[in-house]
Chain A
Amino acid sequence: MSARDLALGVDVGGTNTDAVILDGFGTVLAHTKRPTTDDVTGGIRASIAEVLTAVGPERHRVSRVMLGTTHATNAIVQRRALDRVAMIRLGAPAATEFPPLTGWPQDLAEIVLSGSAMVGGGHMVDGTPIAPLDRDGILRFVDGLDSFDAIAVAGIFSPSSPEQELEVAEMLRDHLGQDTRVFLSQDIGPTGLLERENATVLNAALYSVALAVTDALVTVVAEQGLDAQTFFAQNDGTLMSLDYAAQYPVLTIGSGPANSIRGAAYLSGHDNAIVVDVGGTTSDLGVVVGGFPRESTLPREIGGVRTNFRMPDVLSVGIGGGTIVDVVTGRVGPESVGYRIDREGLLFGGSTPTLTDAAAIAGSPVAGRRLPALSPVTAAALEQALAFVTDRLDAAVERLSLGKADIPLVVVGGGGFLVPDRLPSAGEILRPDHGGVANAVGAAISLAGGRADQMAPMGDRESAIEQASEAAIAKAIQAGADPLEVSIVEILETHVPYTAQPTVNVSVKAAGPLARLGAATPTTA
C-alpha cells in the first residue's frame, strides 16, 4: 500500500472556490480556482474533482480533506437559512439594563430570536455568585416558548466560572431531551457579555447552515471514493473536526483571512511575516507570528452584530485591481469595478480608469494587453494614483509591522502587481508561486487547535495558566489534534484593575498536528 500522505485543501469564498493537493513535503501537486456555486456543494464538488483528476492514480494517497469557508458569514449577512434561537442569560439582577440582542439590526433579531430570558445566576469577577441560579425560572421560560431550534446560554463571567452554564445545559437536556441543541457562551468567546452573547446566539443560529456545508463535504468526499478524514478551518488558523465545526460554526467566520495568511507564510517559507492579499476591491493585510495569524482584540461586526470571538487582526485598505481612479478629482476608490474589470478597465477596452491600468502605465504587464492612447490628464491621474497606492500600502504595512522594517512582505492575490518591488516600511518582498490559491494551501497545512480563558488572582497565576492550558489542550484534542503531539503555542495575560487582590486574565492557545488514527472525540449537538 502506498503512503497516504496527501492533503486536499478547499477554500470556499464568496466568488471563487479554490482547491489544492499538497504532498507530505508540502509541495503543491495540483491546484484549481472555480466559481462558487449557489448550492456550495457544486463548487466544492467541481474543484475537488479537478485536483483529484490532476493527480490521477495518486488520488488514493489523499488521507485528509480540509475546508475553509465564508459560508457562515454570508448566511448571516444574507439572513439565509438561520435557525431560531431561545436566549437565556444567567446573571440577574446584574445586566438587566441591557437585554439580550441589544443593538442588533431589527430584521436579523426577528428572524433569529424566538424569545429571551434574564434569570438569577452568574458570577462576579472573583467567582462570588451574583444570585442563586433560578432553575425554575429557566424551565418556566423554555416551557412557555412556542418553538425554537436551539438554546443559547450566557452566564456573567462564565469564561472564568464555567460550572453554572454547564449545569444549565444538563438541566435543559434532562428536561427537553438529550438531543436538545444547547450552546454555551464559555465555548464561544472571552469576557465582554453582550458581544459574547451575540456570538453565542449567532453560533446557535448557524447550526443548520454549518451542517449543510459539513454534509456537502462528506458527500463529495464519499462520491470521490476517498478514504479521508475531513476537517474545517477556524479563525485562528487551526483545524477542527466536522462535528466540532457543526457545533461551533461561528469559529469558521474568520477562517478565510486566517487561511490566506498562513498559506502565504507557508508558501514563502517565512513563519514571521506581513501578508498582503490584493483582490479586486480591497487589499487585506495580516501578520503571521510563529506560523499563526496575529489576532485582533477589538470587537468585530458580523452582519451588523458586535461580537468578540477571536479573529485574525486584518487591516483592509480600499485598494484592489478594480479600484476606480477618478481622473477629474484624482480620487482613488473606494469604488471598484470588481469582477467587471475584464470589460470595464481601459486595458480591456472599457472606459473606466482603474488601478490595473495605473499599474500597466508603470510597466506591470498583463498578458496580451496594451493600454489605448491616453490623454495627458488621464495618464497623469493614473501615475498619481499609483504613488497614492504605494503610500497607502506603505502606511498599512508600517502599522502592522509596528515599525520593524526587516519583516518580509508576502504578496498574494490576483492584484499583487499593485505592490511595488520596494516599500520603505517592508523588508524583502516575496511573491511565492501558487499565491493565488494561498487560501486553500492554508487550509491544507493547518494544525488542530483550541483556546481557553481563565480569570484568577495574581497569586494563582501559575495555576490559572495550568488550568487554561489543560482546557485548551482538551479542546485541541476534541478538534482533532494528536494527543501525543499537541502543545501550547500562545499564552496571553491581561491585568484586571479595581479588584480586592491583583487579578489576571489568561488566555491560552494549544495546537498540534492532526491525529492519524481514530476519529476525533465526537461532540453531541
Chain B
Amino acid sequence: MAQTSPASHAAERISEVTADDIAALGIGTAIFGTGGGGEVYGAQTMVERELRTHGPVRLVSVDDLGPDDVVILMSGIGAPTVGIEMLSSKGQIHALLEEAERLLGRPVTTLMAAEIGGSNGVRPIGWAAQLGLQVLDADGMGRAFPDAAMVAMNAAGVHCDWAVQSDVVGNITVMKTVDLHWLERHARALTVASGSICIGAHYPMTAETVRGAVIEGTVSAAIRVGHALLGASDPVAAIAAELDAKVLMSGKITDLDRRTVGGFVRGSVTITGIGDDRGRLQRLELQNENLLVLEDGEVLVSVPDLITIIDTETGHAITTEMLRFGQRVSVLAWPCDPVWRTPRGLELAGPAAFGYDLPYIPFEGAAR
C-alpha cells in the first residue's frame, strides 16, 4: 500500500466502513487532525461496537446523492477534560436527528463529519450505524480547525439555515443565527450551560448545495492512511506516499513553549534535525493545531496547508498537547483543498485568520 501512486486513488474509493476499518480510521483522523482534533480512543471503541451491533455503514460520494437525499453535519463540541467524564447519552443522537427532521419536514438520509480531524472524524460513523443512515465520504474542513466558521461550505458561500444542539440530559436547542460567527458564539455559551459538552447537527444540504461545497474523499483517505501505516515497515514513508505529503524533516524536539490559554493550546515547538537532517532546525507555531513551519527565518508551510508531527518510529500523529521534549519526530506537510486557497477560504482560515501578518504561499507538497 505504501507504493500506491496518486493516480490509483480513485480506484480505491471505499464504499463501506466496517468495524475492522475503525482502528485505521482513528489513526488517519489523528493525522488529519494536524495536531488538534482531540483524542480518538473513546470514539473508536464506541464506533467499533456500533458497527459490530448494527453492521457496516455505507459510504457514499457526492455523485451518489439523489434529489431526495439530505445531508447534515455532525460534531461533538466542548471541553475535552469534561468529554472524557460526562460522555454522551444513548438516544442523544436520535433526539438530535428527530429535531433536525422536524425542522426540515423530511428525513435526513446522510451524515457528514464537520471535520475529519480527531474524534469528530470518527464518531459520525458510529452515529450513522445507530441511526441506520449513510455517511458522505467528505467533511467540512479536510482537517481540524478550532472554529465553526472555518468550514468549506462557508468558503463556498453555502448558508447554514440552522443548528441543533443536544446535551447529555436531553435538552435540545435550535439556533438560527445570522452567520457562523454568531453560531460559534451561541454554541459555546450553550455548551457551557449544558455542562461543557454537547453534540451538534448543522448545515442541512441537498445533493445540489453539497456539490463543490465540501471536501470530498476524506473519510476514505483517512482509512487508507491508517491501513497504510498499519501495514508498513517504514510508516513515515508509507504515510507520506499515501497522502502525497512531503517529509520536511526528521529530528527531535529540543524546545517546547506551550501554554493553555482560554481552552486553546498556544506556543511553539523546535525540532532539531538528526541523521540526514543534522544541522537543520525547524520551528512550528501551534494554536490547538500546527499552523506554521519556519526554517532559517523563512516560512516553509502555513495554514491552511496541512502540517502534522508524527512519531518517527511508529508513524502515529502527535497532538499538540502530547508533544514532549526529546521525542523523535518527523514533520509532514501536504497541500490543502483548493477551496481554502480561494480569497474567501484564506480570509476564513489563512495565516491572517490566526493572527499572523504573513502572506500565504501555497505549499507544493511532494511534487516540489
Name A's B-contacting residues (CB within 8 A): 91-98, 102-103, 122, 124-126, 128, 130-131, 156-157, 191-195, 299, 306, 395, 398-403, 494-500, 505
Contacts and interface: CB of A to CB of B under 8 A. Distances in A.
B351 to A, nearest CB: 24
Interface stretch (B57-65, B78-86, B339-347, B360-368): B78-86
Contacts of A126: 195
B18 interface: no
22 contacts: A94-B168, A95-B86, A95-B89, A96-B91, A97-B87, A98-B87, A102-B46, A102-B49, A125-B79, A130-B195, A194-B84, A395-B328, A398-B252, A398-B325, A399-B325, A399-B326, A403-B325, A496-B81, A497-B260, A497-B262, A499-B192, A499-B196
A191 B84 contact: yes
Interface string B19-41: 00000000000000000000001
Nearest to A159: B85
Contacts of A98: 42, 45-46, 87-88
B193 interface: yes
Interface string B264-285: 1000000000000000000000
Contacts of A103: 45
Given A403-B254, A497-B81, A128 B195 contact: yes
Contact of B169 (A130, A192, A402, A505): A130
A402 B323 CA distance: 12
Given A124-B196, A193-B84, 6 more contacts: A93-B169, A125-B196, A398-B252, A403-B255, A403-B325, A497-B264
Contacts of A97: 46, 87-90, 92-93
B105 interface: no
A192 B84 contact: yes
B75 interface: no
- Among B85, B92, B262, the most chain A Cβ lie within 10 Å of the Cβ of B85
Interface string B164-193: 000011100000000000000000100111
B9 interface: no
Contacts of B45: 98, 102-103, 194
Contact of A498 (B46, B84, B91, B188): B188
Contacts of A500: 192-193
Interface in B145-175: 168-170
A498 B197 CA distance: 8
Contacts, number: 123
B209 interface: no
Contacts of A395: 252, 326, 328
Interface of B: 41-42, 45-46, 49, 78-79, 81-82, 84-93, 168-170, 188, 191-193, 195-197, 252, 254-255, 260, 262-264, 324-328
A498 B326 contact: no
B90 A496 contact: no
B195 A194 contact: no
B89 to A, nearest CB: 4
A193 B170 CA distance: 20
Contacts of A193: 84-87
B86 to A, nearest CB: 5
Nearest to B39: A299
For the complex of A and B, the 5 pairs showing the least CB-CB separation, nearest first, are A497-B263, A399-B326, A498-B79, A94-B168, A124-B195
B86 A93 contact: no
B92 A157 contact: no
B85 A130 contact: no
A125 B85 contact: yes
A504 to B, nearest CB: 11
